[in-house]
Amino acid sequence: MTAGLPKVKETQQKLDQLMKRMSQLGDFPSITKHINEINKKASPKSLSSAIELAELILKDYSLTSKLLKLVNSAFYGQFSGQITTVSRAVVILGFEQVRMAASGLLFIQHMQNKAQANELEIAIVTSFMSGILARDLSSTLKMQDTEELFVCSMFHNLGKLLTIYYFPDEYDTFLKLNNEDDLDEDSASQKALGITFKELGMEVGRLWNLPKIIISCMPGIATGDKNKKQTREYTYQCLSSFANELCEIAIQDSSPEKINALQALLRKYKHIFPFSEKRIAGLMDSATEKIREFSGVLKLKKQQAKLIKSMSFRTPQEVQKRDSGAVPEKTGPPDLNLHLVPETQTPQSTSMTLNEKQMLLVNGIQEITTALLEENNDLDDVLTMVTKTIYEGMGFSHVLICIKDPKTNVMTARFGLGQYIDEVIRKFKFTVSDEQDFFNLSLEEGKDIYIENTRDPSVRAGIPDWYKGILMAHTFVLYPIVVKNVGIGILYAGIKNTGDPIDLDQLKYLKTLRNQVVLAITGKA
């Protein structure tokens, strides 16, 4: 029972020594305090408002500038150029997305503040690239929380990055052990530092108050563990490890070695990520294009930009064709979580053009943002505005916001628009339970759900009987309203007729509007 205690004590002592050495450098306490404060104020348990979080970010002019550039970039493309203040960014994107973006930008800004060896420049690029890859991969896999996965992957090698930055001598020793003595990363870092990179990263992650899911992704996964239950945490760990290992392969110089290593990596993860070489090549092309868009935000150096260009699984001829203006491959659907949902085709044109819908949605969201930032805003007015913006801007037959009665545990429609809406609101209710229908599943797991065709045999079992007797739309979406990790409401929107599918690009706005409902209910705006 106690055999492992000396090892644990020795590891803790070494960690304490390394943390003390970092604390003696003037910049480490500063970034620790700033990241810690942002994560505390933006956490689900925080009572801070959007304005209070914005004021904290505004203390750092450089971070403020980079954050606004980021949220107005293609990364959050539906709001490009529309977000002019940090408080609006918080209300439109939500606390969690701003928390993730600010933490990531602070960390990269910190790493770039010090003139350092080429190793650090490479590590920064691969770290950020792995985040973009994880985000794109999660979209292809129809997963939710893509921004969270972006930061999980970016911080996956936190311990290694900190070692390069703070302990260059120990890192040189690590490289010798890793390359010349052929030790794996854990063994080499343990011998060079006295602890592994993973242990150092997790300790600093806790010090910075990073979300638990990010810290849990730092150790990676045990290779070949095909029988492990595929929980959310395990999937995140796999995706973070996969994206980072993919980047490590991509920076290799030799094309034949790259392809061999890529094939081995795909075999390693095929039990959870069944990707083809062609799909990965397309995803890498897309990621390199996106990181180029961030060059103005990140202030990447020429050497880093050159490295990005070389991160490809294409042949030199294919790269030349790509750079000459060839149309890039499509790499998958947008990043809405399509849980238990079949693939969706590109929508046909409707009576309102996509541009008109987009403008109506953007204007509606801006009006709601302004209302949320006002003192003494009225909850009913805000929820009515949200309902109207979705109904008029997206062409749904019915839009409903339901709230759970804590005494009866019954979810009841409170706000809505559509045909015979009074009758629909009166009947649209269900008891929250452990039933495995789409409504309860969305609440229990906090998942955004999109059902394209309710008549599809593969989804019939998830549609509850009470719903079939009220609306039974051909297509519908569910967005849970979660406060402090508890589902207290649900946003429903459905289209009654066939031939008028939902525009997946515009569904990103639904996530924003749901986030605004949460802010209105909690009073955190």
Q: At 488, is the secondary structure helix, strand, or coil?
A: strand
Residues 126 and 90 grouped into a single domain: no
Residues with Cβ < 8 Å from 347, sequence gap 6 or more?
500, 501, 502, 503, 504
Residues with Cβ < 8 Å from 176, sequence gap 6 or more?
none
Range of the domain at 139: 116-155+210-335
The strand order across the sheet containing 398-405 reads 429-431, 410-418, 398-405, 486-495, 475-483, 449-451
The reply to whether 184 falls in a domain is no
Residues 234 and 274 grouped into a single domain: yes
Residues 151 and 291 grouped into a single domain: yes
Residues with Cβ < 8 Å from 503, sequence gap 6 or more?
347, 354, 357, 394
51 phi and psi, to 5 degrees? -65, -40
CATH code where residue 386 lies: 3.30.450.40
> Can you give the length of the chain in residues?
525
Residues 432 and 396 grouped into a single domain: yes
Buried b (16+ CB within 10 A) or exposed e, 176-206: ebbeeeebebeebbbbbbbbbbbbbbbbbbe
Query: Can you tell me the distance from the alpha carbon of 466 to that of 430, in angstroms, rounded to the nearest whole number?
Result: 7
The reply to whether 10 falls in a domain is no
pLDDT tens, residue order, the chain (525 aa): 445 556 677 778 888 888 888 888 777 877 888 788 887 777 767 777 777 888 888 877 677 877 887 777 666 656 656 677 788 778 777 777 777 778 777 777 777 666 556 778 788 888 888 888 888 888 777 676 676 788 888 889 999 988 988 898 999 999 999 888 888 899 999 999 999 999 999 999 888 888 888 899 998 776 555 555 667 788 889 999 999 999 888 887 767 778 888 999 999 888 888 888 888 888 888 888 777 666 666 666 666 767 777 787 776 566 555 555 443 343 333 333 333 333 233 333 345 565 676 777 888 888 888 888 887 778 888 999 999 999 988 888 999 999 999 999 999 999 999 989 999 999 999 999 988 899 999 998 888 888 888 888 888 889 999 998 888 888 899 999 988 778 999 999 998 876 666 766 667 788 889 988 988 888 765
The sign of the dihedral angle between the CA atoms of 146, 147, 150, 151 is: negative
Which structure tokens are listed for 294? 């961030």
The reply to whether 199 falls in a domain is no
The reply to whether 440 falls in a domain is yes
At 339, the amino acid letter reads H
Triad 333, 222, 35: Cα angle to 5°: 65
Residues 469 and 445 grouped into a single domain: yes
Residues 365 and 488 grouped into a single domain: yes
Which structure tokens are listed for 463? 């549609």
Residues 388 and 515 grouped into a single domain: yes
The reply to whether 343 falls in a domain is no
Residues 294 and 381 grouped into a single domain: no
Query: Can you tell me the distance from the alpha carbon of 466 to that of 425, in angstroms, rounded to the nearest whole number?
Result: 13
The reply to whether 5 falls in a domain is no
Name the percent of the chain in helix, strand, coil, to the closest 5. Answer: 60, 10, 35
What does the DSSP assignment read for 210-241? --HHHHHTTT---TT-TTS---HHHHHHHHHH
